[in-house]
Amino acid sequence: MSDDDAPRGELMLRTLAMPADTNPAGDIFGGWVLAQMDIAGGIAAAEATHGRVATVAVDSMSFHKPVYVGDVMCCYAEPVRTGNTSITFRIQAFVIRGAHSGVRVKVTEGLFTFVAIGEDRQPRTIKPADA
């Protein structure tokens, strides 16, 4: 996977990496990146299933490059599988290095699976038209 890979899927989230999100080395925490990707996937899954969802699995995480303070992180979601009650998205995170540089770098990607849940907080069937 090269840095110039074009994002796949729909842009679901853009956010700015801030100093409060850094580890002792000054890079952005991997957990912060993972959380942003989970939020992006949750938005995509809720839209696709027309309702509430919960994250049930995070698979195949690959961290390619660090994220720095001041980077604009962009998360893209692409559906890869829809089951009876769950939906899986490939989430890619790219950053724009420097606010006005336009340089885009893929920093991480992973597979996130969400289960559709009803008002009773139990899994619900995803209707074919939902996905």
For residue 3, the model assigns a pLDDT of 44
CA distance linking residue 16 with residue 52, whole number of Å: 26
- Of all residues in the chain, what percent carry a pLDDT higher than 70? 93
96 within 8 A of 103, measured Cβ to Cβ? yes
CA distance linking residue 107 with residue 28, whole number of Å: 11
Q: What is the pLDDT of residues 4-39, one digit of tens each?
A: 578 999 999 999 999 999 999 889 999 999 999 999
Which amino acid, one-letter code, is at 75? C
Residue among 117, 130, 128, 119 nearest 56 (CA): 117
For residue 4, the model assigns a pLDDT of 52
Q: Which residues pair with 15 in a beta bridge?
A: 73
For residue 129, the model assigns a pLDDT of 60
Tell me the pLDDT of the chain averaged across its residues: 92
For residue 2, the model assigns a pLDDT of 44
Give the predicted TM-score (pTM) of the model.
0.90
Domains in the chain (CATH in brackets) are 10-116 (3.10.129.10)
pLDDT band at 101 (very low <50, low <70, confident <90, very high): confident
Give the number of other CB atoms < 10 A from CB of residue 29. Answer: 15
